[in-house]
A and B are shown apart, each in its own frame.
Chain A
Amino acid sequence: MKIAVASGKGGTGKTFVATNLFHVLAERGDSVTLVDCDAEAPDDLLFFQAEKISETVVTHQVPVINKDACTWCGRCSKWCNYNAIFYVPSAKVIEVIENLCHGCGACSFACNAGAITENPVVLGTVTSYKTSGQKPLIEARMRVNEMSPVRVIKSAIKVAGNDGVIILDSPPGTSCPFVQTVATADYVLLVTEPTPFGLSDLRQSVETLKTMGKQCGVIINRADIGDASVKRYLEGEKIPLLAEINYDPAIARSYSEGRLVSLENRETAILFTELAEKIIYDHGTGSHQR
């Protein structure tokens, strides 16, 4: 089964939850894979001793226009919905703006003169690691200065396959990178904090998941620092509150140094083990249960 760990607001503890869930399941010998889908800011690897197994480069096809063959009909530019072909026939100017291109291929199809060929452009990498516990960790990493992590995220989830429990550490927000990550998930674990900002962004996440028909539960992180509005909201919406984690400077410090809290703190390890068991028991599907 696939469990996505997500949040509208950034910095609520997605990576903290995803890495610790992965760790406790790995410790008991379950078949488990961690996929870091936060391709713009991937940090999961910092928390593990891991050996690199393989790397794939994710590309998309960007057009190259041969001006000598071009008949200046303008069809390619008309078919491009991303304004990625800058076309001024009177000045004999036709240029591809690579940053705007989404690699859909419409322009190559539109060209009747055979003037368009395509070249791959690198969007990012998907790297497979094996942790010291012999479990796969797959990292999606968008290339700096690229615009969209979506294709890289999709490739990473594909590489992860379908065996056992697959934990998807989602990017923040509720737009396309988040949607792409949770689209394949059987269950979404939302991490929030008990503040007005946390609540506002949680609402947005819940609404998005509703339109997608996804089931979700919530963890309130730093549960003792804010107000009760998140809890009231969850009660009103009948969304399960799966765990509350209080603020603990020792936890924050371990995290800051890239250490796994459940390795050092028994209570945290128990909390994550119970959480994992509950989700798998309630939402695990068929042979993907473990």
Chain B
Amino acid sequence: MIMELAVISGKGGTGKSSVTAAFATLGEKLVVADCDVDAANLYLLFSPAHDKEVVYIGGHKAVVDNTLCTVCGICESYCRFDAISEKDGKIVISETSCDGCFFCSRICPMGAIKMVRSDRSRMYSGSFRNGMMVYGRLAPGEENSGKLVSMVKDEARAVATGMGIRTILLDGPPGIGCPVISTVTGADRIVIVTEPTMSGLADLKRVYEVARKFSGEVNIIINKYDLNESMADRI
């Protein structure tokens, strides 16, 4: 049986990576998976070997071919992400607002909208002094971080199974959204790292609500507890 332990926090900068790194050096060989794919940091501490590199296809973006487009406006009227507008007699698709749903490309009567894949994100795995490390690097501004987290976790499980390693440590992202849910899904035990501040407490309450849905074993670590001991007591 492989035991998966996820370290998450709600509020950012409370010390998830430091706690994960400390656990990772306790002795037993393990697999460390850095699931904070848009701000991966653990590799800086452990300098793992780059034994394997995999291209991650994040999502798609709609791109309009203005030579085919007749500016009929059908795509604009159906897009629910406010990504399409008409500017100077031309259809313009905002890359930041496009959700990659393919709807516009399917309904364009002129076939003028293409969906372009983004392939700039990567997943790496390799050995480090205490075992194996898997981490993702989401390309700048990329979407679907939750899917990359799943890919990192799948690789971590495959590596652990292949090498007979019994523990996987997951260093999670801040917040409570899709990459966090992706991190804690299937975890045997969740550790929440917080700090004794009002923000730390408010964010802890929200992330705890998410965590307890995914695991019966949720533990809390108060980092920098002496910053405000009465706040630490409240937590």
Contacts and interface: CB of A to CB of B under 8 A. Distances in A.
Interface stretch (A97-105, A234-242, A267-275): A97-105
Interface string A42-61: 01001000000000000011
Interface string B184-218: 00000000000111111011001101100100000
B116 interface: no
Contacts of B101: 81-82, 102, 104, 106
A132 interface: no
A216 B202 CA distance: 30
A41 B141 contact: no
A155 to B, nearest CB: 11
Nearest to B43: A200
Given A11-B12, A173-B175, A175-B141, 18 more contacts: A10-B11, A41-B176, A43-B11, A82-B101, A102-B101, A104-B80, A105-B103, A109-B78, A144-B176, A144-B210, A171-B175, A172-B13, A173-B174, A174-B138, A175-B142, A196-B44, A207-B140, A258-B199
Interface string A120-138: 0000000000000000000
Interface stretch (A25-33, A159-167, A249-257): A249-257
Most buried by A among B40, B106, B197: B197
Interface residues of A, number: 59
A200 B140 CA distance: 12
B96 to A, nearest CB: 4
B48 interface: no
B113 to A, nearest CB: 13
Given A144-B210, A147-B178, A149-B177, A174 B141 contact: yes
Interface in B58-97: 60, 78, 80-82, 94, 96-97
B213 A256 contact: no
B177 A146 contact: yes
Contacts of B110: none
Contacts, number: 180
A204 interface: yes
A104 B107 CA distance: 13
Contacts of A46: 198-199, 202
A147 B198 contact: no
13 contacts: A9-B41, A41-B10, A46-B202, A79-B106, A104-B103, A145-B181, A172-B174, A173-B173, A212-B96, A256-B196, A256-B227, A257-B228, A258-B197
B103 A106 contact: yes
A200 B202 contact: no
A140 B198 CA distance: 18
A40 B78 contact: no
B4 interface: no
A168 interface: no
Given A41-B10, A106-B102, A8 B17 contact: no
Interface stretch (A64-72, A88-96, A176-184, A282-290): A176-184
Interface of A: 8-12, 15, 38, 40-41, 43, 46, 60-61, 79, 81-82, 102-106, 109-110, 142, 144-149, 154, 171-180, 183, 196-197, 200-201, 204, 207-208, 210-212, 249, 252-253, 255-258
Contacts of A103: 80
Contacts of A252: 227
Contacts of B106: 79, 106, 110
A162 B12 CA distance: 29
- Top 5 A-B pairs, shortest CB-CB distance: A11-B13, A10-B12, A208-B140, A40-B175, A104-B101
A256 B141 contact: no
A239 to B, nearest CB: 15
A129 B213 CA distance: 31
Contact of B197 (A146, A147, A177, A255): A255
